[in-house]
Structure 1
Amino acid sequence: MTLDALLSPRLTLCHLAGSSKKKLLLDIAQAIAEQYPQHDADTIFNQLIARERLGSTGIGDGVAIPHCRLPGCERPIGVLCTTEPAIDFDAADRQPVDLLFALLVPENSEQEHLDTLAEIAALFSDSRIREKLRQARTNDELYALAINSTAAA
């Protein structure tokens, strides 16, 4: 699945104020619920937190990919955000996180979930792409850089 199919400009959030992992995940859940009113922010938040309890989704190099399966979700939903300041995300490399891609997928989309996670992780493994995204100053710029970076990758 392509990034432009997962992501929308309204769910691309530049310089989200991050004070903690929980606060950031709550902000992401609320942003999704605003765009998709059929989904409840508390349910999204609880699903993301439940997944984090299994192990941090901080993959290193300042990147996290929080994700979960969501009951009632009909298609994958992505949220790209940068944080300011970087926050502790319990990443394996112990580095704070300032670049996140949250992914919600339909409850029964096991293979699609894994494939999409692999694509996102591969994208964020490129240090040039990470640095471009971190340089964005507005939501629109972050969205454009993300979509153009994946098209060029």
Structure 2
Amino acid sequence: MQPLATLLTPERAACQIPGLSKKRLFESLARIISDDQLSLSYDEVFSHFIAREKLGSTGLGEGIAIPHCRIGNCSQPTGALLTLAEPIDFDSPDNQPVDLVFALLVPEEATQQHLDTLAGLARLFSQASFCDALRAARTADEVFRIATEAEAVPP
């Protein structure tokens, strides 16, 4: 998996986002990503997240979701990391609400890279200490720092 530092920017990390539904979450993610990546339009990002989610929930369980999609105007894998002030329903396999969200966009043709990155993210988010640290964060800068420093932790 690519280090999170190559997927994230400080502008695409957010902390304690207030009361959301899944749709509002995707709107927030689309805004955060499109504001930072000018080649990716808000409408395109939002519609790709919605279309992917209709195929099945991207909730992993344990309060974690990794919404992801492949998108044409994406030149390199791009991520956004959010912690939520209140957990939201995400149709996760364990029926637990979600409060940690890592959104991933990859270039349309990057099928294997997409799968490899998703697997790496799932391994990282399966570490209770990593998730606990994110949940304890109180600022976006802290969320970004925790995420980018976590690469030193073995899976």
Aligned-partner residue type, residue 79 of structure 2: G
1:85 correspondence with 2:86: yes
Structure 1 segment 1-153 matched on structure 2, within 5 A:
1-153=2-154
Aligned-partner residue type, residue 24 of structure 1: L
Listed as ranges, the gaps of 5+ residues in structure 2 are: none
Give the TM-score normalised by the residue count of structure 1.
0.97
Aligned-partner residue type, residue 118 of structure 1: A
The answer on whether the counterparts of 1:76 and 1:103 sit within 8 Å (CA) in structure 2 is yes
The answer on whether the counterparts of 1:18 and 1:24 sit within 8 Å (CA) in structure 2 is no
Q: What displacement does 1:40 show?
A: 0.8
Cα deviation 1:75-116 (Å, max 9, x = unaligned): 000001100111001101000000010000000000000000
The answer on whether the counterparts of 1:75 and 1:105 sit within 8 Å (CA) in structure 2 is yes
Listed as ranges, the gaps of 5+ residues in structure 1 are: none
Give the TM-score normalised by the residue count of structure 2.
0.96
Q: What displacement does 1:151 show?
A: 1.9
Structure 2 distance, partners of 1:3, 1:18, is 26
Aligned-partner residue type, residue 102 of structure 1: A
Q: What displacement does 1:150 show?
A: 2.0
Determine helix, strand or coil for the equivalent of 1:69. strand
Task: Tell me the number of residue pairs that the alignment of Structure 1 and Structure 2 aligns.
Answer: 153
Q: What displacement does 1:152 show?
A: 2.7
Cα deviation 1:57-78 (Å, max 9, x = unaligned): 0000000000000111100000
